[in-house]
Amino acid sequence: MYKQALTPSLLFLSLISIFTIQSQPVKAIEITLTNGEHSAIYDDNSNSNYYGFNDWDVDGQKLLTETGLFYRVGNSGTAQTFDTLTSSSNVNGNSATATYTGTGFTIDLELSLDNISSTLDQTVTVNNTSGSSLDFALYSYFDLVTSNGNGGDAVEINGSDYTATQSGDLHTIITTVTENLGNNTTLTARRAEVDVIDLSDDTLLQKLLLLSDSSLQLDNAIGSVFHPDNAVSFAYEWNYNLGANGSFAVNTSSSISSVTVPFEFSPSLGILLSGFFGVICYFKLKLKTR
């Protein structure tokens, strides 16, 4: 009697448990890259509002707020975050690799940090393992920091090679794009979008995150966008048709063309300056005495 009454309850709880486990994202990846005085942190934990790099520090200056990587399988439906996939990673100082596995495809991610050229580099390689044709969309979002807000922020994407130039009163960051097609692969569309970040409605990131548009497309508005107060962000979209065993790779490389290093006063510098001014005062006094 007791056993018969308990069985439906146990079955119900088991189904809830299974659903809960399946609906939770796969364990997120967190990677820290270091190279000299440079560092960068990659984190794909969407539950904590991380979708890619959330820090890039060069000589004490933070050069990005966040980046994001998203994907979509098929010509319709919503974009997904990378932490919905089974993943593994390996870190080696200033470089790292991560492998994401989905149904019928794999994503290999290569990350690197160069302190000589002040470059943050990421390469996404997608392989079709389904044995049949696969339509695949890749999205890459950038919210870089080039201004402290006093001089405004501007972004422009070149329509031919999709190089993005972001400039502000602190420095300029140039993001270049390189695409490589594998066998049995066709690029069906390439788009980008530049948008001002409104703190109450970050439209470009929300366009990727709200996932309400089943035919998600960036609008290809890539002309120069400037705002005197708010930051400006940009994103890329690539659509590929991959045949059996087809693949493609997309590399984005962000480099700083100029960096303003803040002045820091140190005790040793103070002693040096004190000595310098002391010598000047001594010779001035000698001249007056004469």
What pLDDT does residue 12 have?
Answer: 39
- Rounded to an integer, the average pLDDT of 211-224 is 76
Cα 69 to Cα 205, 243, 285: the distances in Å are 11, 23, 67
Residue 258 pLDDT grade (very low, low, confident, very high; cuts 50, 70, 90): low
Q: Is residue 92 in a domain? A: yes
Q: For the chain, how many structural domains are there in total?
A: 1
Tell me what pLDDT residue 130 has.
94
Burial (0-12, 13-18, 19+ Cβ within 10 Å), 123: middle
Mean pLDDT of 263-284: 45
Q: With a cut of 90, say whether residue 274 has pLDDT above it.
A: no
Per the domain annotation, does 13 fall within a domain?
no
Q: What percent of the chain has pLDDT over 70?
A: 75
- Are 253 and 146 in contact by the 8 Å Cβ rule? The answer is no
Work out the average pLDDT over 117-122. Answer: 95
274 token code pair: 């004190």
- What mean pLDDT comes out for the span 114-119? 93
CB atoms within 10 A of CB 130: 16
Q: What is the pLDDT of residue 110?
A: 98
**Which one, of 265, 197, 201, lies nearest residue 233 by Cα?**
197
Asked if residue 38 is part of any domain, the answer here is: yes
The domain of 197 spans 29-288
Q: Which residue shows structure tokens 């919210």?
A: 143
Mean pLDDT of 14-36: 63
Band (pLDDT 50/70/90 cuts) for residue 86 is very high
Q: Could you tell me if residue 48 is inside a domain?
A: yes
Least confidently predicted of 42-46, 107-111, 149-153, 216-220: 149-153
Please check whether residue 7 lies inside any domain of the structure: no
Q: 149 lies in a domain?
A: yes
CATH of the domain at 217: 2.70.98.40
71 versus 270: the higher-pLDDT residue is: 71
3-state secondary structure of 160: coil
289 pLDDT higher than 90: no
Least confident of 31-45, 216-230, 267-281: 267-281
Mean pLDDT of 189-194: 94
DSSP 47: G
In a domain, residue 164? The reply is: yes
pLDDT the model gives residue 216: 76
DSSP 182: -
- Whole-angstrom Cα distance, residue 18 to residue 5? 21
Which residues, in sequence order, are CB contacts of 142 under 8 Å at separation 6+? 64, 67, 164, 166, 175, 233, 234, 235, 252, 254
CB 141 within 8 A of CB 81: no
pLDDT band with cut points at 50, 70 and 90 for residue 290 = very low
Q: Is the pLDDT of residue 10 over 50?
A: no
Average pLDDT over residues 208-234: 81
Nearest to 93 by CA among 142, 54, 36: 36
3-state helix, strand, coil in the chain (%, to 5): 20, 50, 30
Residue 20: inside a domain: no
Higher pLDDT, 46 or 197: 46
**Identity of the amino acid at 27:** K
* HEC per residue, 104-121: CEEEEEEEEEECCCCEEE
Query: Mean pLDDT in the chain?
Result: 82
